[in-house]
Structure 1
Amino acid sequence: MTHDPYSHALQLTADGQLRHFLTLDGLGKDLLTDILDTADSFIEVGERTIKNVPLLRGRTVVNLFFESSTRTRSTFELAAKRLSADVLNLDISTSATSKGESLSDTLLNLEAMASDMFVVRHSQSGAPHFIAESVTPGVAIINAGDGRHAHPTQAMLDMLTIRQRKHNFEGLKVAIVGDILHSRVARSQIRALNALGAAEIRVIAPATLLPSDIEALGCRVEYNMVEGMRDLDVVIMLRLQRERMAGALLPSEREFYRLYGLSQDKLALANPGCLVMHPGPINRGVEIESAVADGPQSVILNQVTNGIAVRMAVMSMAMSGQVEERSRLRQESGAL
């Protein structure tokens, strides 16, 4: 697998615990399994009458979204509140950033408000990494999606959903279908599946929607969906990201659906019980047939539910890592 240019070393403490969550690159099976196990422990919280635990009580979490979002932003907000944090949602369109204030100055002002964590979504690849390098030590940065680079919490909620149904990853054949070229989700899913030991990862798409280095990420490329669907255990459909496309990469949405849309006929080619997934938002009749999206093999709504638990896990683990790191640095400075 090619190395992620946004170094994973920044996000780990000296003893290998999370202090930021920026990318899945370089994170091993044990740490990813720890995230999944922690998320599993939070599933029960969402089933209580009182859906709160005190792990981030007294902490301030800032949702810093430079791109629009519904599911990701709302599940991060719910996750922070269920951890008992104070939550600030920064509307970038009306913030000082829109009036010419630099990102660095915006961050300094937010830090001055005693913020403890920034959840960052940005159109530029590497923006959360830049912020993690720039903020005062002790402030945790969580990547909620940056450019075409990564969406690590989405990948982990997908892994949790797969594990709940399939129990482990060994032997699984998984396909990711559609707009791979523009998908930060696909890149993070591929890294997670490789780290967790999936037997085979396929990408199914027209050549115009595949990045040039896709095979180097450890995937098998299929241009024909009929062939690519055979013997699958999980199929993950992706949204066509028209807003990121320059030029005519597709003949038409109708033609795309005919060749690469997930219909009941195409799903029947996979193994019985093949899971159907989609990170959303769904374009019905373009990427997936409604009968499949709403059918018995679909776990799309389970993905949304699991997003809260996974984001609770990542936020609590990163904050814990920050606290442990500060304690270690204080002890080291006191010993000098």
Structure 2
Amino acid sequence: MKHLLSMKQLTNDQILNIFNVARAMEHGQRSAMHTDKFAANLFLEPSTRTKSSFHIAERKLGLDVLHLGENDSSMTKGESLSDTLKTLEAIGVNVAVVRQSEVGVLNDCTEDLNLSVINAGDGCGEHPTQSLLDLYTIQEHFHTFENVHVAIAGDLKHSRVARSNAHALTQLGARVSFITKPEWQDDSITNHYITMDEAVEQCDVLMLLRIQHERHNDRSSQTTYLEEYGLTKQREAKMKDHAIIMHPAPVNRGVEMDGSLVESPKSRIFRQMTNGVTIRMAVLQTLLKGEL
């Protein structure tokens, strides 16, 4: 496989192979260095964690890195994303990491490309490397996915993280439930909804999602969201002893969850960020070596 655009491309064996590569790197196994190769990070939407962790992962693998934002690309002059990627390929780029707002557009852009493309988020579509680091964090804690109950709570309609994780977790044998406001439900993901009060008592993993204010016109309801749908201190106290809290971040403290719970003993939020570098190294490594 040349590109990583969707979690639906990956078999369970391929996912677990990426984890094995990541774990070997984490335990000190020297990774192959790619000092003769170039990576281009094309981020046309804002990003802190994904962009920074890809940069660190690329540099740890010895890659030279080009950073292209919306104002650095000739797309501001009307060039298509497809032609931008063809240009990067023509000048010698080996792998491009792309974040942009159009769902599925990378599928058409990559048909005839020789360089590898990694989807770093396509609007409300998918975010496969975020899903992989989430899955890796869950496996790190539970050592399995079979019958692990994961509850995903938040803005499902606009969440690429929810789409990627809902598919991959189910494929790996986890039980997945969802919590959201009625207007944020998305039947293309699921019709299995529970309340947050049910979720905290039942789940092994509570995965909270950011309310994507930039994709909403009405923000008036966020003041009551925490009490109705979010993780309060009272709800956190009802969680199973072994249960963990996850969030892809950035966190709207006091909206999706009580701000003090970001650093609670159950939280794996910053561990997810650490795992993000390792997983992205593993993805880059397997793509560059043609082993994915």
Q: TM-score, normalised by structure 1?
A: 0.82
Give the superposition deviation at 1:210.
1.1
1:227-266 matched pairs, under 5 angstroms: 227-246=198-217, 248=218, 252-266=221-235
Alignment of 1:50-61 (within 5 A): 53-61=31-39
Superposition deviation, residue 171 in structure 1: 2.1
For structure 1, the 5+ residue unaligned runs are: 1-11, 13-18, 325-336
Q: Does 1:202 align with 2:177?
A: yes
What's 2:189 paired with? 214
How many angstroms does 1:93 deviate by? 1.4
Deviations 1:158-183 (A, max 9, x none): 11111111111112111001111100
Paired residue for 1:284?
Answer: 253
Offset at 1:269?
2.4
Q: Displacement, 1:134?
A: 4.0
Equivalent residue runs for 1:1-336 within 5 Å: 12=1, 19-45=2-28, 53-135=31-113, 137=114, 139-198=115-174, 200-215=175-190, 220-222=192-194, 224-246=195-217, 248=218, 252-321=221-290
DSSP-derived class of the 1:279 partner = coil
- The runs of at least 4 aligned residues of structure 1 exceeding 6 Å deviation read none
Rg larger for: 1
Q: 1:80 to 1:257 in 2, by over 3 A?
A: same
Which residue does 1:329 correspond to in 2?
Answer: none
Per-residue deviation, residues 61-80 of structure 1 (Å, max 9, x unmatched):
10011111110001001111
Structure 1 CA distance for aligned equivalents of residues 232 and 287 of structure 2:
40
CA drift of 1:251 comes to 5.0
CA contact (8 A) 2:99 2:119 kept: yes
- Cα-to-partner distance string for 1:123-169 (whole Å, 9 max, x where unaligned): 0011222221142x2x1111101111100000110111111111111
Please, what TM-score do these two structures have when normalized by structure 2? 0.94
Displacement of 1:53 after TM fit? 3.8
The one-letter code matched in structure 1 to 2:235 is K
Structure 2: state its 5+ residue gaps: none
AA at the equivalent of 2:10 = L
Shift of residue 194, structure 1, vs aligned partner: 1.1
Aligned residue in 2 for 1:15: none
Distance in 2 of aligned mates of 1:312 and 1:131: 24
User: Which amino acid is the alignment partner of residue 201 of structure 1?
Assistant: V
Counterparts in 2 of 1:34 and 1:54: CA distance versus 1, 3 Å: closer
Higher mean C-alpha deviation, range 105-114 or range 178-187: 105-114
One-letter amino acid matched to 2:207:
I
